[in-house]
Amino acid sequence: MELAGKVVVVTGAASGIGRAMARRFAAEGARAVVVADLDGDGAATVAGEIDAAGGTATAVATDVSVEADVRRLVERTEADHGPIDLFCSNAGIATGGGVEVPDEEWDRIWRINVLAHVFAARAVLPGMLARGEGYLLQTASAAGLLTQIGSAPYTVTKHAAVALAEWLAITHGDAGIKVSCLCPQGVRTPMLLGGHAAGDPGASAVLASGAALEPEEVAEAVVRGLAEERFLILPHPEVAEYVRRKADDRDRWLAGMRRLQARIGALR
């Protein structure tokens, strides 16, 4: 996909990866970028940055966990700018803990990290299928291909996000619908930095390793991945090798992850 002249929606775009993608898409010549976020003021700030740089952007306060909000976002975009060429379902949250995490927290992360992708697809697919073209970009995580030590809810929901993206690509790929799934590892976003500040040893270990990317580096990988229409977009290329190792010998991989967990636990 070439971004020039396209109408693009990015959720979770007030900060982090979403902000970087929105700004980069505008720089690539998108006809309009719709900046959606629960933080309406933050979305307006990013839209203002894009406008000031010569692009065209609209900010829409959106709670992606509420289907009516997602539908309203799509309807407003189409009314203001025309059909949506690329919908980036990027908003996400993280929470630590295992199976003991309360039901309300499981429900919250499930709605944001999984159902928001479902809501987006429900809203945009009819029009895209009628036109015979459209692109869905879903932000998951390397945790959706591997795991996230210390967080069962994040691991489970990101695996589900990857599975949904695969299903959409299989089901609608021959009807002109393109699907990409973004799976970064550590990125210097408010999510990762907040985890570090809260004492999450996993987040601290990622930052200490020097492997965390800047959001702008992820946006660059996204632009390349969209141009090549790759399903998996891996800003950290080493993730592909980790996935191969996992597939080759899952028991060995699990043993290695337990060793990594023990090393991270020693940081507490």
The answer to whether residue 64 sits within a structural domain is yes
Per-residue pLDDT, 123 = 98
Count of other CB atoms within 10 angstroms of residue 194? 12
The predicted-structure confidence for 65-117, as pLDDT tens digits, reads as follows 999 999 999 999 999 999 999 999 999 999 999 999 999 999 999 999 999 99
The residue with greater pLDDT, 263 or 22, is 22
- Residue 213 sits at φ, ψ, to 5 deg, of -90, 160
Residue 194: CATH number of its domain: 3.40.50.720
The answer to whether residue 67 sits within a structural domain is yes
**pTM for this one?**
0.93
Residue 267 has, within 13 A of its CA and on its CB side, a CA count of 17
Q: Let me know if 78 is exposed, middle or buried by CB neighbors in 10 A (0-12, 13-18, 19+).
A: middle
The answer to whether residue 253 sits within a structural domain is no
Average pLDDT over residues 1-16: 98
- Tally of domains in the chain: 1
Domain holding 86, by residue range, is 7-239
DSSP lists the bridge partners of residue 181 as: 138, 232
Three-state DSSP class for residue 98: coil
The predicted-structure confidence for 183-193, as pLDDT tens digits, reads as follows 999 998 877 66
**Distance, CA of 80 to chain centre:** 24
Per-residue pLDDT, 178 = 98
The answer to whether residue 102 sits within a structural domain is yes
The answer to whether residue 268 sits within a structural domain is no
The answer to whether residue 80 sits within a structural domain is yes
- Statement: residue 207 has pLDDT above 60: no
The answer to whether residue 205 sits within a structural domain is yes
Three-state DSSP class for residue 96: coil
Both ends of the chain: CA-CA distance in Å? Answer: 45
The answer to whether residue 256 sits within a structural domain is no
Q: What are the residue numbers of the active site?
A: 154
Count of other CB atoms within 10 angstroms of residue 154? 23
Q: How confident is the model at residue 196 (pLDDT cuts 50, 70, 90)?
A: very low
Q: In terms of DSSP H, where are the helices of the chain?
A: 16-27, 40-52, 67-81, 103-110, 116-131, 152-172, 190-197, 201-209, 215-228, 238-248, 250-265
